[in-house]
Each structure stands twice: as C-alpha cells, then as structure tokens.
Amino acid sequence: MKKLISIVVPAYNEEAVLAAFHTRMSGVFDQLMDYRCEMIFVNDGSKDGTQAVIDGLANTDERVSTVTLSRNFGKEAAMTAGLDVAQGDAVAIFDADLQDPPELLLQFVAQWEAGYDVVYAKRCQRDGETWLKRATAHIFYRVIKKLSKVAIPPDTGDCRLMSRRVVQDLGRLREQHRFMKGLFAWVGYPSVAVSYRRDPRAAGHTKFNYWTLWNFALEGITSFTIAPLKLATYLGTIFAIGAFALGAWIILKTLIWGDPVRGYPSLIVTVLFLGGIQLFFVGILGEYLGRIFDETKGRPLYLLAQHRPSRIGTACAKQMTCHGESPLRSTT
Ligand code: UDP
Ligand code: MG
C-alpha cells in the first residue's frame, strides 16, 4: 500500500481562508501521486463558520479529516490534537492562513525520502510583518539559543514534516506548557532545514498580539531553562560581597576619621534597589511555581468534541487515543 502523509492544519476563526488553503494543498497532493495524502483540519473552538467550512470540505473530499475541540485551547494544543489523531507515515503541520506555502510539502517529502526524520521550514524572509515583530522575534531566538540546552533552530515556526517515530515520541511529551519549538528540538533525530519566504496572511487576522507573543517568549524561556533562577544566586552573591566590602570600609572609616551621620540618599537608593531586585526574583520564582502548579493537576491537553477521520486514512486506522491523554499513560 502507498505511504500515507497527513497534514495537520490548526484553524481558529479561519473561515475566510480555508477553502483557498484546501484548493492549494489539493494541487500539491495531486503532484504526490505515489502517496496517499490527507488533510486534518483541527477546529480550535472557532466562533465563526470554520466548522461549517471544514464539514463541507470533508463531505466532498475523501482526503479531508476534521477534528473539533470542545473550546479554544490555543494553537499548541490544537497541533497536538492533530498529531495525536494523525495516522500518516509522515505528518506535516501547516498554518491555515497560507503563510506557510503548501508547495513546501514537495521539498519536505523529498528530504524525508532522503532519510531525514524532521524537515523544517526556515524563514529567509518575512513579508507582511512589522519591523518590530521581526526585531523582537530575532532577539527572542538569540536569547533562547544562549539559554537553552537543546538547540532550537532560529527563524523556524511550527511548519515542518516529521516521520512516524518523531510524531510518536513527541506524543509522549504531555506537558501543559507547550513550547512546541522547544519540544520539537528536544526530540532530536536527523533534521534538515528548507528555506522559504514567509508570505503575508492570505485572509483573516493574526491571533497573536504583542502581549501573547511576550507570554509565548516567557513560556519558551521558563519551559526550557532554569537560567533565570540561577541568576538570582549569582546576583545575590555579588551584592553580598559588595555589601561586605562596603561594611568593612565604613567600619575602617569610622575608626580612623570618626563618622558624622550622613548618607540618607545613598541609603534609600540602596534599599529601594535591593527591594526591586528581590521582588523581581520573587516574580521569576512565581513564574516557575505557577508552571509546577499547572503541571501537577495533570489535566488533559485538550478535549475532543468530534473527530471525523478521512476516508483515505481510515484504511489503516488504529484505536484512537481520546481527549489528549498520553497514549502511554492510558495503557499503563
Ligand atoms: N491558531 C489556532 N488556535 C489559536 C490561535 C491560532 O489554532 O488559538 C491557528 C491559526 O488558525 C493559524 C495558526 O494557528 O492557522 C497561526 O495563527 P496566526 O496566523 O494567527 O499566527 P501568526 O502567523 O500571525 O503568528
Ligand atoms: Mg499566520
């Protein structure tokens, strides 16, 4: 039987662009005649007509599968849901808004057949994004590269193709705070990049503003490194040594010259400065503590309201793991 390639497409309020996506991706599928291909649309709790559009596509195209989450869980969870239900020998992720050109799939498949387990798309140019977004993205990738132990390739998004064993291993990582770029990197295996120009959004609006991007950056850093916690240790040590030296100097000065009481300004500056630093690190501790709190609850990553497999993918359908629980956890 021909190999199966599954494409996971997370969609949140994307009614305006899904038909265009389906048309373009179908064109690419037609060129991959030696494979069976399926598109898995994950409706991440959309409030517009997304469900109707993907239902319509599934009715007319046997290569379309739909997954509906019970509410909006966010792109990371939506991708995870898609990866969990995907049966493909290779599984690729594409944004619904055509920012990741579907034609990339041809190169992905060629590299996969050449023996790579992960083929990821690397942006060489970002059209339709402000300089501020590009600059902050640039800084973020550099910072995370310095801080994290696993090498997270810069300027790559979620768009990539993964072999079955990578998808399976990724499925074992069930953490609540899912910084997918980091999880992809953590899994490892032979990987290769394919350069592409990131197109502007075809229609609709971006779901990410600067506040969500900031939180995303925080997520990336706190889920992949404890460097900020260590910073407190070192800064604390430096301040303690400084304070000790200053104390010694003041004692000496008092013994030699005597000391009329002075120094209110320096005192208040020091107290406020140290107070600020302490609050800052209490905040960082809180970030980590909050994440531990979320993880200990062990809730499922998403809830499935409905899953309709594609007719092309059901031929080899296996028992599906429901509700985002780990396939491992449910069997042990
Ligand atoms: N998305 C999702 N759930 C969300 C937010 C976004 O499934 O809560 C999907 C969205 O439909 C799109 C992809 O994630 O397919 C990327 O979103 P978007 O284009 O808004 O992000 P950007 O490209 O601006 O970073
Ligand atoms: Mg986009």
Contact 228, 222 (CB under 8 A): yes
Contact 123, 156 (CB under 8 A): yes
Domain count, the chain: 2
User: Are 113 and 147 found together in one domain?
Assistant: yes
Q: How far is the CA of 75 from the centre of ligand 1 (A)?
A: 6
Q: How far is the CA of 96 from the centre of ligand 2 (A)?
A: 8
User: Is 23 part of a structural domain of the chain?
Assistant: yes
pLDDT given at position 162: 94
Give the number of other Cβ atoms within 10 Å of residue 318's Cβ. 6
> What is residue 210's three-state secondary structure?
helix
Q: How far is the CA of 147 from the centre of ligand 1 (A)?
A: 26
User: Is 17 part of a structural domain of the chain?
Assistant: yes
pLDDT given at position 316: 47
User: Are 52 and 179 found together in one domain?
Assistant: yes
Residues with CB under 6 A from ligand 1: 10-12, 14, 44, 72, 74-75, 78, 95-97, 99, 201, 206-208
What residue owns the CA closest to ligand 1's atom 18?
206
Alpha-carbon gap, residue 194 to 206, rounded angstroms: 24
Q: How far is the CA of 173 from the centre of ligand 2 (A)?
A: 25
What residue owns the CA closest to ligand 1's atom 6?
75
Contact 85, 320 (CB under 8 A): yes
Cβ-based neighbours of 171, under 8 Å, separated by 6 or more: 83, 84, 326, 327
Closest atom, ligand 1, to C-alpha of 79: 7
Contact 90, 161 (CB under 8 A): yes
pLDDT given at position 325: 52
User: Are 68 and 192 found together in one domain?
Assistant: yes
Give the number of other Cβ atoms within 10 Å of residue 157's Cβ. 19
What residue owns the CA closest to ligand 1's atom 16?
95
pLDDT given at position 127: 62
User: Are 102 and 67 found together in one domain?
Assistant: yes
Give the CATH number of the domain where residue 80 resides. Answer: 3.90.550.10
Contact 67, 320 (CB under 8 A): no
User: Is 198 part of a structural domain of the chain?
Assistant: yes
Report which of 104, 110, 94 is spatially closest to residue 11, judged by C-alpha positions. Answer: 94
User: Is 16 part of a structural domain of the chain?
Assistant: yes
User: Are 261 and 191 found together in one domain?
Assistant: no
What is 303-331 written as a DSSP string? -EEEEE--TTTGGG--PPPPTT--HHHHH
Report residue 190 CA to chain centroid gap: 20
Beta bridge partners of 65: 40
User: Is 217 part of a structural domain of the chain?
Assistant: no
Long-range contacts of 241-248 (CB under 8 A, 24+ apart): none
Closest atom, ligand 1, to C-alpha of 99: 23
> What is residue 110's three-state secondary structure?
helix
Q: At what angle do helices 131-147 and 210-224 cross, to 10 degrees?
A: 10
User: Is 281 part of a structural domain of the chain?
Assistant: yes
Q: How far is the CA of 206 from the centre of ligand 1 (A)?
A: 6
pLDDT given at position 118: 93
User: Are 86 and 59 found together in one domain?
Assistant: yes
User: Are 270 and 137 found together in one domain?
Assistant: no
User: Are 202 and 290 found together in one domain?
Assistant: no
Closest atom, ligand 1, to C-alpha of 97: 15
Token code pair at residue 142: 């550099």
User: Are 304 and 236 found together in one domain?
Assistant: no
What residues make up the domain containing 175?
3-212+300-322
User: Are 287 and 163 found together in one domain?
Assistant: no
Q: How far is the CA of 279 from the centre of ligand 2 (A)?
A: 36
pLDDT tens figures, 196-242: 887 777 777 777 777 877 887 888 888 777 788 888 888 888 888 88
Measured from the alpha carbon of residue 12, the closest ligand is: 1
Contact 25, 7 (CB under 8 A): yes
| Segment (H or E) for 114 | none
User: Are 288 and 168 found together in one domain?
Assistant: no
User: Are 238 and 143 found together in one domain?
Assistant: no
pLDDT along the chain (332 residues), means of 10: 92 91 92 92 92 91 92 92 93 91 92 93 73 80 79 83 94 86 87 83 73 80 80 83 84 80 76 82 85 87 88 56 45 34
Contact 181, 150 (CB under 8 A): no
pLDDT given at position 320: 45
